[in-house]
Structure 1
Amino acid sequence: MSKAEKTKQHIIEKTATLFNTKGYISTSLSDITQATGLTKGSIYGNFENKDEVAIEVYKYNAGLLGKTLSRSFGDEYITSLDKLHAFVEFYRKNWKFVFANGGCPLMNAATEADDSFPALKTQVKRSFEQWLTKISDVIDEGQRKGEIDKKASAEQYASLFIMLIEGGILLSKTMGDQSFLNHALDKVASIIDHELTILPS
């Protein structure tokens, strides 16, 4: 990496939790300089404006989450059902880390971007599309292998899982009570076992 690339990466990594906790719109340039220990001139020497920093930080935060979630769908899990359950267990095991870093970066960015920050909204939409595709692909794989009911709509179940988990995170973070997320995860696990799994006749 060049010196400029290292500086950009330093800025992104040092402000990742800051943006996700305080908000992509609310975080000020002064917040960024304080978190990075750099001057405003150095920030603007590497990014066109604060919005560009916010976009790159969002990509970084979403990328970290995506890489971690992808491990749930790794080859070490034999069946598609195992992969879906590993996806659920990721949130059971990592909710403290997710909450400590401000919550889910996709949900946080989605709630504040909307029409006030269209460039960020576009990035968030792309992230959710990738997430939907990843879960749908696992369900499709299970249907091809005869592990998952072929009548199930992969796209509908993928979106349902995301809605339940994101809603659970939102309520648990807001109420300071993990039970809301646990209830959502229990429901997803139950759907996997009772609606997707092909039971022996």
Structure 2
Amino acid sequence: MTKGEQTRQFIIMKSAELFNQRGFAGSSLSDITLATGIKKGGLYRHFTSKDEIAVEAYNYASQVVGGKFAAAIEQETTAYDKLMAYFHVYKNVTNEPPFIGGCPMQNTAVECDDAHPLLRLKAQESSSATLKSIREIVQDGINSGEFRSDLDPDAVASFTLSLLEGSIMLSKLEGTNNHMQLNLANYSNYLKMFCLKDHPPA
């Protein structure tokens, strides 16, 4: 990686942290210069606009979180444990989230619902990719006989992501992990009671 590429990546990384904590609208170019120590002229040598920085910053943040999901899932062998891994990644969301500021998809979706169509599209892409991954895990569980054959993978995926994102939002809002911990247990019970074909081992 050249020095110029390293500088560009550094700007993306610091901007991603900034945007995920303050939001796109709440972060100015001056804030980016303060976070990076790079003057506006230096920023414009690598990016044409704040919008371009924001898109690249979102891509970086979502890749970091996606990588942590993938790593957690890869350690598990059962469909049940792979689904639980999504919640374990965020189990300490208030103190040690997988990316500073919380969930990039959620933060971006809430802020940019009507205000920034391109960032909204990026959040939609993240949502679609996560739902697809969850559906595939559920379908694998069905195919292996771990999960009931009459399960609807789309319904389970929607419920899983909705519960996860709601738990993140409420935990961050209250500044405690209570909602995440409660729903981690609730989701485990849901999988055991309604999804597993047989009772799990004691």
Q: Normalization by structure 1: what TM-score?
A: 0.93
1:91 paired residue number: 90
Structure 1 stretch 136-145 or stretch 178-187: which is displaced more?
A: 178-187
Distance 1:182 1:33 in 2: 38
1:161/1:73 CA distance change after superposition, 3 Å: same
Distance 2:99 2:77 in 1: 32
**Which residue identity does 1:73 align to in structure 2?**
I
- Between Structure 1 and Structure 2, the one with more helix by share is 1
Distance 1:95 1:190 in 2: 23
% identical equivalent positions: 34
Query: SS where residue 126 of structure 1 aligns?
Result: helix
2:13 paired residue number: 13
1:131/1:31 CA distance change after superposition, 3 Å: same
Q: What pairs up with 1:69-84 in 2 under 5 angstroms?
A: 69-74=69-74, 76-84=75-83
Distance 1:55 1:125 in 2: 13
Query: SS where residue 38 of structure 1 aligns?
Result: coil
Aligned pair count reads: 199
1:163 paired residue number: 162
Distance 1:50 1:85 in 2: 37
Q: Please tell me whether residue 56 in structure 1 is matched to residue 56 in structure 2.
A: yes
Distance 1:190 1:92 in 2: 16
Note if contact 1:81-1:192 (Cα within 8 Å) is conserved in structure 2. yes
Q: Give how far 1:72 is off.
A: 2.3
Note if contact 1:85-1:189 (Cα within 8 Å) is conserved in structure 2. yes
**Which residue identity does 1:153 align to in structure 2?**
D
2:112 paired residue number: 113
**Which residue identity does 1:124 align to in structure 2?**
A
Distance 1:13 1:133 in 2: 27
CA deviation map 1:125-167 (0-9, x unaligned): 0000000011110110011100011111111111111111111
Q: Give how far 1:121 is off.
A: 0.5
Q: Give how far 1:190 is off.
A: 1.2
Note if contact 1:110-1:124 (Cα within 8 Å) is conserved in structure 2. yes
Q: Give how far 1:87 is off.
A: 2.7
Q: Give how far 1:90 is off.
A: 2.3
2:42 paired residue number: 42
Q: Normalization by structure 2: what TM-score?
A: 0.92
Distance 2:99 2:82 in 1: 26
1:81/1:99 CA distance change after superposition, 3 Å: closer
1:99/1:174 CA distance change after superposition, 3 Å: farther
What is the Cα-based RMSD across aligned positions, in Å?
1.6
